[in-house]
Amino acid sequence: MTLEEGRSDRDQPRSIMAAVTSGTHALGVALIGLGLLLVLVPALVGAPVVLAVGAVTVLAGGLLIVAGWRRWSAGRGPFGLVAGGLALACGLALVLNPVSSLEALSALVAIYLVVDGAVGLLQAMGRYAASERRWLLADALLSIALGMSMWVGWPLSGLRALGALLAVKLVSAGAVVLRLERGLRRVGAAAAVFRARREG
């Protein structure tokens, strides 16, 4: 084996992790931005609120699916894809039926948040470092708490709750994506160092 071949083999784990994590930072920042955008939605009234919340949730679902695909490609399980699919389905339901009763919309969002939290708890049981597991657990428990809050209508209710609670969820999800991206980068760097030592 030539020196160049050895070097390219050694750099392979790093390049795989670079491919998996490239753009993940932007996904996390975009989710946080969408969450902050939802804070402005209560300034609207009636059906436009539901349409705006639904559209932002659809975008967030798409971003979560991309982030979930990247995590799945890195061997972290399919739960990120499931969470993204749930967000996408919830957003589409809001966009396609914005004139549903407020109770029906609240129930839909509450169910989405609780199920997303349950999926997050399952995801946290995967192969993650302790610090990453804590972030995943915190996001999952927050999602369940937000869903319960939406269900009982406390401390916020109505259209204001719809935007505000989903905004908190998206900011939290964006923070978790950023945290997991840092973990994936560390794993890639450690794998490259390990392989270099083994071959060197």
In the chain, where are the structural domains located? 30-199
Condensed to tens digits (0 to 9), the pLDDT of residues 11-26 reads 554 554 455 556 778 8
Question: Which residue pairs from 45-50 have beta carbons closer than 8 angstroms and sit at least 24 positions apart in sequence?
Answer: 45/159, 46/159, 47/98, 47/99, 49/159, 49/162, 49/163, 50/94, 50/98, 50/99, 50/100, 50/105, 50/159, 50/162
Closest CA to 60 of 101, 27, 20: 27
Burial bucket for residue 46 (CB in 10 Å: 0-12, 13-18, 19+)? exposed
For residues 168 and 185, the model is more confident at: 168
Q: What is the mean pLDDT of residues 152-180?
A: 86
> What predicted TM-score, i.e. pTM, was given to this entire model?
0.74
**Residue 5's pLDDT band (boundaries 50, 70, 90)?**
very low
**pLDDT for 68-114, tens place per residue?**
888 788 777 788 889 899 999 999 988 888 777 788 888 889 999 99
Q: Is the pLDDT of residue 117 over 50?
A: yes
